[in-house]
Structure 1
Amino acid sequence: MGYVQEARENHVKKKVEEALRSKMKQKALKECDHYTSKYAQCAAGRTISIVWQCRKQAKELNYCLHQYTNDAVLEAMKREYTLQENEKGSARV
C-alpha cells in the first residue's frame, strides 16, 4: 500500500483528529500517573532548580508520555475510528 493511499484511508476531519489527540493525551496521563507524581513531588517548593534537580524524573515522565503520544499511536487511532465509521455506515444500508 502506497503512502498516498494510506494517507487517504486514515484521513479524518480536523475536529475528529483533535478529539483523538485529546483522548490520546488523556490515556497517556493516566498510564504515566506514577511518573507524573514523582515529578510533582520533586518539583514541589522549587523554582529554577527544577531544571537540574528533577531532570531524571522529567526524562522518565517524557519517555513514558512519548510511548502513548506519538504519530504511530495517532495513526492507529485514526484507522480504528475510520473502521468504526465504515461499520456504522454499512450497518445503516
Structure 2
Amino acid sequence: MGYIQEARENHVKKKVEEALRSKMKQKAMKECDHYASKYAECAYGRTLSVVFKCRNQAKELNNCLHQYTNDTVLEEMKREYALQHDGKP
C-alpha cells in the first residue's frame, strides 16, 4: 500500500471517528437533558457565583454525561460501525 493510499484511509478513519464522537455527544446531551436543565436553571442570572452555587448541579450533569461519553462507549460505537460496513475496521 502506498503512502498516499494509507494517508487517505487514515483521513477517512479520522472523519468516521469524529462523526461517531459527535453522535456520542448528541446522545449524551439528549439523555442528560434533565441535568442540563437543572444546571441552566441554577446558573441563570449568575456570573462568578455559578461555580460555587451550582457545584452540585454541575457534578450531576458531568456524571451523567460521562456515562455516555467515555472510551468504552466510543469503542462499542466503532465496533458497531465496522459491523455495519462489511466488517471493515
Partner of residue 9, structure 1? none
Within 5 A, what are the aligned runs for 1:43-82?
43-82=43-82
Partner of residue 7, structure 2? none
If the length of structure 1 is used for normalisation, what is the TM-score? 0.80
Partner of residue 4, structure 1? none
Structure 2: unaligned runs, 5 residues or longer: 1-11
- Number of corresponding residues: 77
Once the two structures are TM-superposed, the CA of residue 71 in structure 1 deviates from its matched residue by 0.1
Partner of residue 30, structure 2? 30
Partner of residue 7, structure 1? none
Once the two structures are TM-superposed, the CA of residue 30 in structure 1 deviates from its matched residue by 0.1
If the length of structure 2 is used for normalisation, what is the TM-score? 0.83
Once the two structures are TM-superposed, the CA of residue 74 in structure 1 deviates from its matched residue by 0.1
Could you report, residue by residue, the CA deviation over 1:29-78 in whole angstroms, capped at 9, with x for unpaired residues? 00000000000000000000000100000000000000000000000000
3-state DSSP of counterpart to 2:86: helix
**Cα distance in structure 1, aligned partners of 2:45 and 2:73:** 35
Q: Which amino acid aligns with 1:27?
A: K
Please, which moves more after superposition, 78-87 or 51-60? Answer: 78-87
Partner of residue 39, structure 2? 39
Once the two structures are TM-superposed, the CA of residue 81 in structure 1 deviates from its matched residue by 0.2
Q: CA RMSD in A?
A: 1.4
**Cα distance in structure 2, aligned partners of 1:86 and 1:38:** 43
